[in-house]
Amino acid sequence: MAPMTNDTAVRTDVASSPAPVVLSVENLDVTYPRRGGDVAAVRGVTFQLHEGEALGIVGETGSGKTTTMSALLRLLPQRALVRADAMRLGDRDLTALSDGELRRLRGRELSLIPQRPMTSLSPVTRLGKQLERLDRRPGGAAAPRPELSALLARVGLGPLAERLRAYPHEFSGGQLQRILIAIASLAPQPQILFADEPTATLDVTVQGQILALLSELRAELGLSLVMITHDLGVVAQTCDRVIVMQRGEIVETASVQELFARPRHPYTAQLLADLTRPPAVRGRSASGDPAAPRLRVAGVSCSYARPGTRRRGGRQAVPAVQDVSLTIPAGETLALVGESGCGKSTLAKALVGLLTPVAGTIMLDGLDVTRERVGRGQRSGLQLISQNPFSSLNRRRTIAHALTQALAVRGATPADEREQRARELLEQVGLDASHLGRYASELSGGQLQRVAIARALAAEPRTLVLDEPTASLDVSVTARIVDLLVELQGRLGLTYVWITHEIDVARHVSEQTAVMYLGRIAEQGPTEQVLHRPRHPYTASLLASMPVPDPTRRATFRPLAGEVPSPLSPPSGCVFRTRCPIAQDERCATEVPELRRAGASSSACHFADDVAPRLAAAGTPPIA
């Protein structure tokens, strides 16, 4: 992958000098007529896109960023009323074009990279056929096969070129997104690339790869890019200029450097402040007694039966978690970090008893909760907060029902006091009694997550397992929920196992961090140490793959190559060696590294003691 530092510099210059405008929008309004008042989704949006420029449109859910793009591409539903003073592509008036003319523009001069690669290709047609259909030459002829292979090779799918005969489900999400990028950016006469949250469904390392590929192709082909995202890190790493949207309006437009250095609008400032926060100040004494930890996980392994192999005799166990040991003192937080499929959610399920480990013990306050005899009452000391608040509450039940039911199960509260107690619980999580009669569908994501927390608290737990509690929430809401959880921890003396893929969150909330890769702990230790002086190349790579919300630090953005291997056939020796920048053939391929002490942390790398110099030698910049 080409180094990007230079490109960035060049592009910044381009942006500042008046390059010709390729797309201009003036006073765009999008309204949905409704009974009882129209809903304005976009109001008075005005912006320009220059040739070769990367424009970021940032905003939270409902801010109108996707609606703006859809209005431009005329992809909105019929009932949406679109009005604009002007929408021009070069010297053509987009509002004057017929549907047919606009359709011809889409896919030729205006290309779209969709949010969900998995659902953007037909699942029943071979890839080659779909590419042939999509990539129509001006004369209507299909592209010949060799050209398609070259196309795939260009987006880094070289060895897959012969897989034109494969079906979409045989590719990973990252590969599919590469294919869609190939389709979009290599259209006949591409001018503007619209990318609608192109990495929202992808893992951190793959996200990095895709962003890098996009920047690279853009530089090479001189395309203009409109990047729609909620992630300020993505903007910082890929865009020249940024539009910040809130409730359908543009609140700020600035160059990327300026925006991050001197945000002018309070909303932007708040967004940035929420993102880059120092570690939470703990109002509690470090009462953790290492001799009697709250939660001790010893040698836990979990496996799944492979789906589709349940027939007689053919049951194949897929190892998901292997030999994981953790110790968490009371009142502390352990952050569990890793990519999807690393086993962190499986471990969470094992902790709360949704899954019985095939080996190992889980001791809660000295009591082995994996034993079958352990009753519900003893188990209730461990509660789960799951990732998606919209799914963690029954949408056909009221909040009151959810809370009183939890209280009823716990049995500690007499029936006539439950409603009172439910109200107290809601207050504890920052909601009030008026929410009791509501249904889940009437609450926002943040409110739902608060209710989920309140419900877990109803069981009077000592430990909460938080499975990516903020992953599906907007930035500002994330910060509020994190604050609430930190506050509750201080107030109630809770112990947290906090699963996250957001390094910032881990840094903010945890005393200890464990990094998992392919079901094993790669590195574990005090958060300060692990996230700033990684002793495992995977931790270092993970950190480098994160799009940091700081445009001045593009140099350190160095996504890890490759994808996570299948747990069905893990690599021999060190499981990370296939992607490791410092792997050495003989030792890493044959010897399984033990988790051992390295500095203040433990690392499962053969070279734990000198990871940093080796990485530097391999060309990976050090972590700041």
**Contact residues for another protein (CB under 8 A)?**
60-62, 310, 349, 352-354, 376-377, 379-380, 382-384, 386-388, 391-398, 400, 405-406, 409-410, 419-420, 423, 427, 430-434, 436-439, 444-447, 452, 455-456, 458-459, 474, 476-477, 480, 484
CA-closest candidate to residue 552, choices 2, 1, 8, 134: 8
User: Do 572 and 590 touch, CB atoms closer than 8 A?
Assistant: yes
User: Do 399 and 436 touch, CB atoms closer than 8 A?
Assistant: yes
* Phi/psi of residue 259, nearest 5 degrees: -60, -45
3-class state of residue 2 by DSSP: coil
Chain Cα centroid distance, residue 137: 36
State the residue for tokens 């890098």: 212
For another protein, the closer CB: 90 or 430? 430
> Minimum distance between the CB of residue 177 and another protein, rounded to whole angstroms?
23
For another protein, the closer CB: 169 or 310? 310
> Minimum distance between the CB of residue 458 and another protein, rounded to whole angstroms?
8
> Minimum distance between the CB of residue 263 and another protein, rounded to whole angstroms?
19
Whole-Å CA distances, 248 to 43, 146, 197, 244, 476: 5, 45, 17, 10, 17
> Minimum distance between the CB of residue 497 and another protein, rounded to whole angstroms?
13
For another protein, the closer CB: 178 or 455? 455
> Minimum distance between the CB of residue 358 and another protein, rounded to whole angstroms?
18
For another protein, the closer CB: 423 or 536? 423
Q: Where are the alpha helices (DSSP H) in 464-545?
A: 475-492, 503-509, 527-532, 537-545
> Minimum distance between the CB of residue 516 and another protein, rounded to whole angstroms?
20
> Minimum distance between the CB of residue 399 and another protein, rounded to whole angstroms?
10
> Minimum distance between the CB of residue 275 and another protein, rounded to whole angstroms?
16
Length of the chain: 624
Q: Which two tokens stand for residue 601?
A: 């942390």
For another protein, the closer CB: 300 or 518? 300
User: Do 143 and 176 touch, CB atoms closer than 8 A?
Assistant: no
For another protein, the closer CB: 110 or 352? 352
DSSP 387-433: S-HHHHS-TTSBHHHHHHHHHHHH--S-GGGHHHHHHHHHHHTT--G
The span from the first CA to the last CA of the chain, in angstroms, equals 22
3-class state of residue 29 by DSSP: strand
For another protein, the closer CB: 429 or 583? 429
* Phi/psi of residue 521, nearest 5 degrees: -80, 125
CA distance 333 to 466: 10
CA distance 441 to 120: 28
User: Do 426 and 436 touch, CB atoms closer than 8 A?
Assistant: yes
Amino acid in position 597: R
> Minimum distance between the CB of residue 448 and another protein, rounded to whole angstroms?
10
SS (H, E, C) 220-241: HHCCEEEEEECCHHHHHHHCCE
For another protein, the closer CB: 262 or 376? 376
Handedness of CA 150, 155, 160, 163 (dihedral sign): negative
For another protein, the closer CB: 243 or 452? 452
For another protein, the closer CB: 191 or 246? 246
Q: Which two tokens stand for residue 134?
A: 């999509």
Amino acid in position 372: E
> Minimum distance between the CB of residue 489 and another protein, rounded to whole angstroms?
16
> Minimum distance between the CB of residue 317 and another protein, rounded to whole angstroms?
15
For another protein, the closer CB: 217 or 459? 459
Q: Which two tokens stand for residue 354?
A: 């949704």
> Minimum distance between the CB of residue 183 and another protein, rounded to whole angstroms?
26
Q: Where are the alpha helices (DSSP H) in 74-229?
A: 99-105, 127-134, 145-154, 173-185, 204-221
> Minimum distance between the CB of residue 406 and another protein, rounded to whole angstroms?
5
> Minimum distance between the CB of residue 549 and another protein, rounded to whole angstroms?
20
> Minimum distance between the CB of residue 502 and another protein, rounded to whole angstroms?
19
> Minimum distance between the CB of residue 542 and another protein, rounded to whole angstroms?
26
CA-closest candidate to residue 501, choices 534, 464, 542: 542
* Phi/psi of residue 154, nearest 5 degrees: -65, -35
For another protein, the closer CB: 126 or 379? 379
CA distance 552 to 570: 38
For another protein, the closer CB: 12 or 398? 398
Question: DSSP code of 622?
Answer: P
Q: Which two tokens stand for residue 516?
A: 């998992």
CA distance 173 to 204: 12
For another protein, the closer CB: 501 or 535? 501
Query: Which value, to the nearest 10 degrees, does the dihedral of the CA atoms of residues 60, 64, 70, 73 take?
Result: -110
User: Do 452 and 485 touch, CB atoms closer than 8 A?
Assistant: no
For another protein, the closer CB: 403 or 608? 403
For another protein, the closer CB: 38 or 170? 38
